[in-house]
């Protein structure tokens, strides 16, 4: 679990945990699925010399609370509470599904300066829609029955893990409590499928985003644990976003994994958040 020092109260009373470091204009880091803020944490020192960096755990993750029922609007309110805490406006960096949250917040009118997104996972293309529809239905059934471990395994299979891979990760994770931590985060995968509009890119809504947006990917997928997805899975979405967003800049950082690499992404974010648009 990623321990965080601060709390802010969202509109519905949910406590949202975050860390803060640095000085200067505010940058909020928005995490993706199965992440309690730990995956974005290495970006903090890369940005904190020039910005005040807020890294938070989205609701239902890590030290942040969760209040039923889940709704997209509550996640946007969480982000708004953090932006208010940061002084009233902020730059956003969203990784994976966190990128979709950043864009949805902008479309909803949140006080955002500029946005950078990394490998947003909308499922673009008729070739993969049936698999995603099946995954959404299967995870919802498992979730409704309280089978969180099954939710996690369904996600892993959908992205490309074999039964042997899952068994090996489960065995290794039980030695370190990592598996139990991932299972605890599994319900947020179901929340993400709601948030991500059933993984269908909401083109009409996102086309209303007026902020400058940096749309980034790491090029073709090479990681074995994501071999179940088309190699251009993230590029498909990024190219569509770059076409429909009024003020988009498209960048590819070849050879980087889906988990953000601060050595490559950090300098790009520094330039983008520091530049005049």
Alpha-carbon distance of 151 to 90, in angstroms, equals 34
Same domain, 118 and 133: no
Of 221, 96, 195, 72, give the one whose Cα is nearest residue 136. Answer: 195
Alpha-carbon distance of 265 to 252, in angstroms, equals 10
Inside any domain, residue 1:
no
Q: How many CA atoms lie within 13 A of 270 on its CB side?
A: 14
pTM: 0.96
Which residue has tokens 């995954």? 135
Cα–Cα–Cα angle for 43, 222, 203, rounded to 5 degrees: 70
pLDDT tens digits, residue range 129-159?
A: 999 999 999 999 999 999 999 999 999 999 9
Alpha-carbon distance of 41 to 53, in angstroms, equals 10
Same domain, 105 and 208: yes
pLDDT tens digits, residue range 30-68?
A: 999 999 999 999 999 999 999 999 999 999 999 999 999
Same domain, 83 and 135: no
Same domain, 177 and 204: no
Same domain, 221 and 94: yes
In which domain, by residue range, is 166 found?
129-192
Number of domains within the chain: 2
Of 145, 172, 192, the last residue of a domain is 192
pLDDT at 87: 97
DSSP 91: E
Alpha-carbon distance of 238 to 116, in angstroms, equals 11
Alpha-carbon distance of 79 to 42, in angstroms, equals 20
Position 2 pLDDT exceeds 70: no
Same domain, 73 and 20: yes
Q: What ranges in 145-261 are assigned the alpha helix state H?
A: 148-159, 163-176, 178-185, 187-195, 203-206, 233-244
- Under DSSP, is residue 150 helix (H, G, I), strand (E, B) or coil? helix
């Amino acid at each position: 679990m990623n321990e965080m020092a601060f709390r802010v109260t969202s509109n519905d009373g949910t406590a949202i945990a975050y860390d803060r470091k640095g000085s200067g204009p505010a940058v909020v880091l928005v995490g993706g699925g199965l992440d309690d803020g730990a995956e974005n944490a290495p970006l903090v020192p890369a940005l904190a010399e020039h910005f005040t960096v807020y890294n938070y755990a989205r609701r239902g993750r890590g030290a942040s609370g969760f209040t039923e029922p889940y709704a997209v609007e509550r996640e946007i309110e969480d982000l708004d509470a953090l932006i208010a805490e940061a002084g009233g406006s902020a730059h956003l960096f969203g990784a994976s599904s966190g990128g979709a949250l950043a864009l949805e917040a902008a479309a909803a009118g949140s006080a955002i300066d500029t946005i950078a997104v990394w490998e947003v996972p909308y499922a673009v293309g008729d070739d993969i829609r049936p698999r995603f529809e099946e995954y959404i239905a299967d995870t919802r059934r498992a979730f409704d029955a309280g089978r969180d471990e099954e939710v996690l395994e369904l996600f892993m299979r959908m992205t490309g893990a074999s039964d042997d891979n899952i068994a090996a990760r489960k065995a290794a994770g039980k030695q370190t409590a990592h598996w139990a931590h991932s299972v605890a985060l599994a319900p947020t995968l179901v929340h993400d499928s709601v948030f991500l509009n059933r993984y269908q890119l909401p083109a009409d809504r996102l086309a209303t985003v007026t902020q400058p947006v940096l749309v980034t990917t790491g090029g073709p997928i090479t990681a074995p644990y994501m071999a179940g997805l088309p190699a251009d899975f993230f590029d498909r979405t990024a190219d569509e976003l770059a076409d429909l967003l009024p003020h988009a800049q498209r960048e590819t950082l070849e050879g980087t994994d889906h988990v953000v690499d601060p050595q490559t992404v950090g300098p790009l974010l520094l330039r983008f958040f520091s530049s005049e648009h």
